[in-house]
Structure 1
Amino acid sequence: MGMIIKNISVYQTFTQQFEIKDVLIENGRFAYIADSLSITNESVVMDGTGKWMIPGLIDIHIHIESSMTLPSRFSEAVLPHGVTTVVADPHEVANVFGIEGVQSFLSNATALDIFYGIPSSVPSTSPQLETTGGFIGVNEVKTLLKNPMILCLGEVMNFQHLCKEETSMIKDIIKACQELKPFLPIEGHCPKITGRDLADFIAAGVTADHTQQTPESIVEKIKSGMFLEIQKKSMTKETIQTLINHHFYDYFAFVTDDVMVDQLLKGHLNELIKLAVSLGMSVEKAIYCSTYTPARRMHLEDRGMIAPGRLADFIVLSDLNQFTIHSVYKKGECVWGEDFTYKEKHDQIFPSYFYESIKCKKATIEDFKIKVSGKKAICNVIQIQPHSTFTKHIQKEVIIKKGQLDYKSANLCLLTIYERYGKNNNIAHALLDAPIHQRGAIATSCAHDHHNVMVMGNHAEDMMLAQQTICEMQGGYVVVQNGCVVAKAFLEIGGIISAQPIQVLAQQLKEVRVAMQQLGYQHDNEIMSFSTLSLPVSPELKVTDVGMINTKTQEIIPLIAEVYDENFN
């Protein structure tokens, strides 16, 4: 028995226009699209008059762990937003648990089609520069390539090892992929890489980039043969106009990359379509770059358009210009509508050690004393950049009192990272340029990508309390103000994922976000800004359990650049 949708405005992918048609769906696939279809007694008929039909949205670059929830809860959250297929890069859970973490996600069946990329950079740099719980090498890659749910090699991050060294693990991983699956898409992460460096990166096999773009980088990368994945932080009037002016529609797709769980309730890829339209792109082109181009990039030939033989994954819109979703269908079945919401089973069971992964020592006051001889020091300092996860490397003069850096007198905060896997008990320090102004501390175990325990603050007792609370919780976020814990979010699975209902976790993260703001943390995404201070492949200066890292050169930067003795004037 088939379903016929009558008199609906159907999106025609190859003309990027709408035409009023009748649509026949049989066995979960589109069977026939015509000007008029006859109705039989066996037909289920739906009147589409005054509505629009578009393919289900496809997001080919996301990290489910950035939403800090289970794949099943992620599925239940994004289907109402019209997202019917995603390609996820599980490199966060891989950094904590290795191939076992990836396989735990692959085993979780959901109504949403979740395909995966193989984490290519675990660790993101090298074991000498950061300690992780897991490791993905050539053998693990070869094992994962056998799984039909694997569609690509996940974002290659380490430019230095790929392009500046004769031999490296990432070179071996790419070679293995090219030999075993010659047409496997290889995803990239190459912010601020240009000229010959960019050419070398592409020549090494990387054919896409999802990082923050400028009008200049868009033109250079696409003309150099790269497919671009445009996320929200790249979407400005200038960048969207660049894509429009050059008619680059076939060479990019909109992606979300990271969506915090409290934002996930409000929208997903559908919000980027609305944003693109508000910035000057036609809704027809925005739909094209959220359905067909991502499907083509990942060789998903059975979806991304409304045509015979393709999966009947589609959205019914009640308002095209406002992109108002009336209902969402997966393989011809309604999964979300005004009177219906599909309910997933949230019964995935992880190994017991997934819940006991925080093994670092609890902080003491002594941990936050930076001891040094002299009168003044020139210190290397991290400056957080607004509207970005990038940082800037600056230097500041800091007074030394009683043999310790008096960083508070220089309006600085201390950031300390504790190795959490029980491998070496590393502790590393960095200084931040005035991220908060009130007395307090912020701590997390969700520190991209190594996910060691990270605590930042301007008061030693508050920092100690925040770090100890994270250890007791076995992962999450904590904000302390004036000696009291004022906000918590629990991430009990690997210190990065929660099994709680999304609404519960979203409320906890909202409270963390508000508490950070009350301390003075200013950013349009406070939590992600804080959590990526530890990402040693994102410009410019970041921190691991080994120390501060120049993310371009992959060199360790000392906390103290120079010390002046008592005779300093």
Structure 2
Amino acid sequence: MLNHFCKKPLWECTQTLAAVAQGRQPADTVITGARLVNVCTAEVQDDIDVAIAEGRIAYVGQSAAHCIGEDTRVIDAAGQVIAPGFLDGHIHVESSMIGAGEYARAVIPHGTVGIYWDPHEVCNVLGLEGVQVMMEDAARTPLKAMVTTPSCVPAVPGFEDTGAAVGPAEIADSMTWDGVVGLGEMMNFPGVLAGTDHAHGEVAATLAADKVVTGHYSIPETDQGLNAYVASGVRCCHESTRAEDALAKMRLGQYAQLRYGSAWLDLPNLAAAITETDIDTLFANLISDDTHPHTLVANGHLDYILRKAVECGIDAVRAIQMMTINTATCFRMDNELGSITPGKCADIVFLDNLEDLNVTRVLIDGDVVAENGACTFPLPPFEYPAWVTHSMHLGRAIAPETFRVEAPTDAAEGDAVCVRVIEVLPGSVPDREVRAALTVTDGALESDLDQDVLKTFVFERHHETGTFGVGFTKGFGIKRGAMASTVAHDAHNLLVVGTNDADMALAANTLAEVGGGMVVVADGEVLGLVELPIAGLMNDLDAPAMSEKVHHLEKTWAEIGCTMPSPFMTMALIPLACLPELRLTNRGLVDCTTFQFVDLVVDEN
């Protein structure tokens, strides 16, 4: 696959690299005295020198003295470890709530040199034009931001309303863009298994362009369905939650992407697929998927996941392979990325040692871009177009009475009415469908705090249709107030959860006024607000500033009774109709095991 993410293509610098390797021409940079993590052979080599020219590696060996000239920059590794730059095989930048440029500035000091980025959040709001704006933002940084075109916009057609739609024709066109390396996660696995023209048309357009199809197979079935999914050309999947799921995928030649982000913490469970077997880890990747700013600032990025993998019992060298050469091979880019070998891009991470795994220096294309936790590259300003920062189009007024849930006409005052309830689970992507009996009060169904059952509404915000879906959720534990968010996967409509109608209306209208974001209110007062005016998903602040805002918001969640970690990320999945079991979109409740709309009230007769 052609790499658009290097300083120079290899064919333009082969003569230079050959000359530098043999000492006929000086290198631009030479690293001396390093301990090399050789991901090709899974060994650590001591006292290794590396010579770099034209942004690529020219020489790796015991002495690069013959490559040093008067103007060569010499970096003495002093026995530190060097490894290939880290590659995140599946990431949604939008989940960090900062723009792509600021995201690059946040992750590069942690050793991340490249990301395989599915911008389906912004695409669901602003379409492929919005994706192009995000790519322009990323292009002002050294980060190799490799895009996989969103495949599921909407995530499950017919069950929600999004700001845009993408189909096979749009996918085919995007495959010609510089910077696009494949198809974003194919969440519509039911369409793949059923053989629909839409799903297979998108896959075919990608494969015809000789690019990679990435996956999202979120059910525990690992026989006929998984075989059909892999046979359809889906090369990797990040939705394993059990070790046996990951192992089954690897055995079928599909890359199992082991996830550890901010809310989806699957790695400890999945590590057993490696630590309790003697399998080759060639088909295992380490990825983050969704990482919010507080995690980036407090813990790091792929370096944090690397340390967690080692904590889970995975050997450090194998773990490094899982975020370098394995990832590059997954995307058929190992001829350019993923190893410190001659001819490859000079993307190199310095680590203090293989026990603590702290990043001390980062090179991208041979340039030092971060040292001791700080970026060394300038970040030019970037201005988002007005249509990107004005994306709230509700088409209706929202008042407390909007949140009235009428009881069935045959239910009398004081009767118990059985309703379907979405039970969210801390740190889990799947939810559960449960039932609750709600008492009819003044002809309506209300939140029941004793049962931890809360009213939940999803309002369409893209085309002023005025439509909304109604349901109930449990698991948040809040005792007062309401929460609202325009980060509501994947359509990113306006999601409101609360204990009372007045606070729910205040939460919804607050976000409408600021252009989107996340808010917590109680007793008629806004307790915490994170403004996200960029598509209702991001802000142009840097990661530390956003981390502070989000951290304050988490405190306000706790003030109203919620103890769940990263609750806004769990809340954001309530409308995602491609995940089991029960979800709520602006069109209504969806049974995601049968992919059918279902009624809120359950007839128990």
Fold shared per TM-score above 0.5 = yes
Q: Give the deviation of 1:50 after TM superposition.
A: 2.2
Question: Which residue of structure 1 lines up, in the alignment, with residue 301 of structure 2?
Answer: 268
SS in 1 for 2:477: coil
Deviation readout 1:10-63 (Å, 9 max, x if unpaired): 121222111121211122111111212324434322222221111100112101
Separation of aligned partners in 2, 1:467 and 1:339? 39
Q: Which digits, 9 at most, give the CA deviation of each residue in 1:327-376, with x for residues without a partner? A: 11111111111396224435333331222210113321111111122033
Aligned residue in 2 for 1:111? 142
Equivalents in 2 of 1:454, 1:441: separation in Å? 11
How far residue 162 of structure 1 moved from its aligned partner, in angstroms, is: 2.2
Residue 238 of structure 1, CA deviation: 4.9
TM superposition score normalised by structure 1: 0.95
Which one is further off, 470-479 or 318-327?
A: 318-327
Counterpart residue number, 2:193: 163
**Structure 1 pair 13–49 and aligned structure 2 pair: CA distance change class (3 A):** same
Q: Which amino acid aligns with 1:16?
A: A
RMSD of the TM alignment (CA)? 1.8
Deviates more, 1:410-419 or 1:277-286: 410-419
Pairing 1:4–2:30 present: yes
In structure 1, what residue type is equivalent to 2:403? F
Match of 2:436 in 1: 396
Match of 1:316 among 327, 334, 350: 350
- 1:567 alignment counterpart: none
> In the alignment, is the contact (CA less than 8 A) between 1:160 and 1:553 conserved in 2?
no
Q: Which of 421, 429, 438 is 1:381 aligned to?
A: 421
> Residue in 1 aligned with 2:151?
120
User: For 1:520-535, what aligned pairs fall within 5 Å after superposition?
Assistant: 520-535=561-576
Deviation at 1:525, TM superposition (A): 2.2
CA–CA separation in structure 2 for the residues paired with 1:496 and 1:416: 19
Alignment check: 8 A CA contact 1:87 1:115 kept: yes
Check the 8 A contact 2:236/2:330 in 1, yes or no: no
1:223 — aligned with what?
251
Local SS of the residue matching 2:507: helix
| Deviation for aligned residue 1:406 | 3.5
Distance in 2, Cα, partners of 1:470 & 1:236:
34
Deviation track 1:514-557 (CA, whole Å, cap 9, x = no partner) reads: 11122222323212101111111122111110011112321112
| Aligned partner (choices 18, 22, 25) of residue 44 of structure 2 | 18
Counterpart in the other structure of 1:286: 319
Given that 1:72 and 1:344 are in contact with CA atoms closer than 8 Å, whether structure 2 keeps it comes out as no
Q: Which residue of 1 aligns with 2:290?
A: 258
Matched, 1:356 2:396: no
Q: Deviations over 1:179-222 (max 9, x none)?
A: x32x4211111112412222222223222110132121122222
Three-state SS of the structure 2 residue aligned to 1:107 is: helix
Q: Does 1:131 align with 2:131?
A: no
Matching residue of 2:240 = 212
The answer to whether residue 506 in structure 2 is matched with residue 465 in structure 1 is yes
| Gap change, CA 1:212 and 1:344, over 3 Å in 2 | farther
Partners of 1:458 and 1:235 in 2: how far apart?
31
The aligned residue for residue 75 of structure 2 is 46
Asked whether the 8 Å contact 2:303–2:359 carries over to 1, the reply is no
Count of residues in Structure 1 that have an aligned counterpart in Structure 2: 560
Distance 1:551 1:386, change over 3 A: same
Aligned equivalents of 2:37 and 2:352: distance in 1?
Answer: 14
The whole-number CA distance in structure 2 between the counterparts of 1:483 and 1:436 is 19
Q: Note the C-alpha offset of 1:2.
A: 2.4
Counterpart Cα distance in 2 of 1:407 and 1:23: 64
Structure 2 CA distance, aligned partners of 1:156 and 1:398?
38
Q: Distance in 1 between matches of 2:404 and 2:236?
A: 44
Q: How does 1:548-567 map to 2 (within 5 A)?
A: 548-562=589-603
Per the TM alignment, residue 120 of structure 1 is displaced from its structure 2 partner at its CA by 0.4
Q: Is the 8 A contact 2:109 2:373 kept in 1?
A: no
Identity %: 26
- Three-state SS of the structure 2 residue aligned to 1:98 is helix
Q: Which piece of structure 1 moves more, 116-125 or 425-434?
A: 425-434
The answer to whether the 8 A contact 1:229-1:255 is kept is: yes
Question: In the aligned structure 2, how far is the partner of 1:248 from the partner of 1:191?
Answer: 24
Is 1:240–2:280 an aligned residue pair?
no
Tell me the CA shift for residue 500 of structure 1: 1.8
1:111-150 CA distance string (max 9 Å, x none): 1110100100000001x21000011112211211101311
Q: Please say if residues 357 and 494 of structure 1, whose CA atoms lie closer than 8 Å, have aligned partners that are also in contact.
A: yes
Q: Which amino acid is the alignment partner of residue 256 of structure 2?
A: L
Q: Tell which deviates more after alignment, 203-212 or 109-118.
A: 203-212
Alignment-mate amino acid for residue 289 of structure 2: D
In structure 2, the residue matched to 1:415 is 456
365-374 or 439-448: bigger deviation: 365-374
CA contact 2:121–2:490 (8 Å) conserved in 1:
yes
Which residue in the other structure is 1:203 paired with? Answer: 231
- CA separation of 1:214 and 1:411: change in aligned 2, threshold 3 A: closer
Task: Determine if the alignment matches structure 1 residue 299 to structure 2 residue 332.
Answer: yes
Could you state the TM-score of these two structures normalised by the residue count of structure 2?
Answer: 0.89
1:271 is paired with a residue whose SS is helix
Distance 1:339 1:156, change over 3 A: closer
Structure 1 residue 282 displacement after superposition: 1.1
Q: Partner letter of residue 525 of structure 1? A: S
* Letter of the 2:255 counterpart: F
Structure 2 distance, partners of 1:470, 1:238, is 37
Partner residue in 1 for 2:15: none
Assess, with a 3 A threshold, how the Cα gap between structure 1 residues 176 and 461 changes in structure 2: closer, same or farther: same
287-296 or 135-144, which moves further after superposition?
135-144
How many Å separate the matches in 1 of 2:240 and 2:95?
A: 17
Structure 2 residue aligned with 1:329, among 349, 360, 363?
A: 363
Bigger mean CA offset, 513-522 vs 389-398: 513-522
What 5-or-longer segments of structure 1 have no aligned partner? Answer: 565-569
1:43-94: per-residue Cα shift (whole Å, max 9, x none)?
3222222211111001121011111111110111111000001110010111
Question: Relative to 1, partners in 2 of residues 1:338 and 1:217: Cα closer, same or farther, differing over 3 Å?
Answer: closer
CA distance in 2, matches of 1:209, 1:518: 37
Q: State whether structure 2 residue 368 is matched by structure 1 residue 342.
A: no
DSSP 3-state at the match of 1:397: strand
Letter in 1 for 2:398: A
SS in 2 for 1:362: coil
Alignment partner, residue 404 of structure 2: 369
Counterpart contact for 1:312–1:331, Cα < 8 Å: yes
Q: Is the 8 A contact 1:65 1:497 kept in 2?
A: yes
C-alpha separation between the residues in 1 aligned to 2:594 and 2:340? Answer: 47
